[in-house]
Amino acid sequence: MARKAVILPGNGAGDVFRSNWYGWANEKLNEIPDFSSTLKNMPDPITARRSIWLPFMKNELSVDENTIVIGHSSGACAAIRYAEENKVLGIILVGAYTSDLGDVNEAESGYFKDPWRWEEARSNAKFIVQFGSTDDPFLPWNEQEAVAKGLNAELKKYDDKGHFMNSTFPELINVVKEKLASS
């Protein structure tokens, strides 16, 4: 039972290894003993369709009950939807939201067409941590709060991280290490 992480980027990220904190975090996570992390360029990277991403997570990324799914933005929506129907070790959400925010591309993704099944997602994950920032220029705080409340997530609230698009993210690495030590 090798424990592992999978990093799901936000839509439109381009080469994920050079986008935001993804490549940096993947490298740091792979330094943790007896743990591995996977980061891949996703299919359909602009729209991030649920109908494409969720099967890719299962079939190509091998997300299972030993996987910590780390999702940023659209990747956070994918992580929640995946956990609604599949057991995972845990989910770590970064910049999560509940609606298409009136954006056509977000609406086409398919994540917002049916009600969120918070209880199912909660029961399929041993832990849920959410990073959110009140100064996120894309996501209203009330949407981020709704995710945290619905999932009863351990909320890491900031007021100065925006949409978490920096090149490093040490707080994330610390949370993964903490969860691995306690599970």
Question: What pLDDT shows up at residue 183?
Answer: 79
* 3-state SS assignment for residue 179: helix
Q: Are 77 and 97 in contact (CB under 8 A)?
A: yes
- Of 19, 73, 74, 133, which one is the catalytic site residue? 73
Instruction: Tell me the sheet residues that pair with 132.
Output: 157
- Taking the C-alpha atoms of residue 152 and residue 38, their distance in angstroms, rounded to an integer, is 26
Q: Are strands 67-72 and 35-39 parallel, antiparallel or unpaired?
A: unpaired
Cα–Cα–Cα angle for 61, 67, 70, nearest 5°? 80
- Taking the C-alpha atoms of residue 43 and residue 25, their distance in angstroms, rounded to an integer, is 21
pLDDT per residue of the chain (183 residues) written in tens, 0 to 9: 689 999 999 998 789 999 999 999 999 999 999 999 999 999 999 999 999 999 999 999 999 999 999 999 999 999 999 999 999 999 999 999 999 999 999 999 999 999 999 999 999 999 999 999 999 999 999 999 999 999 999 999 999 999 999 999 999 999 999 999 997
Is 163 one of the catalytic residues? Answer: yes
Q: Are 147 and 124 in contact (CB under 8 A)?
A: no
Distance of CA 94 to CAs 1, 44, 144, 153, 177, Å?
Answer: 26, 20, 9, 12, 17
- Taking the C-alpha atoms of residue 131 and residue 142, their distance in angstroms, rounded to an integer, is 14
- Taking the C-alpha atoms of residue 128 and residue 91, their distance in angstroms, rounded to an integer, is 5
- Taking the C-alpha atoms of residue 93 and residue 137, their distance in angstroms, rounded to an integer, is 17
* 3-state SS assignment for residue 154: strand
Is 64 one of the catalytic residues? Answer: no
Question: What pLDDT shows up at residue 1?
Answer: 67
Is 34 one of the catalytic residues? Answer: no
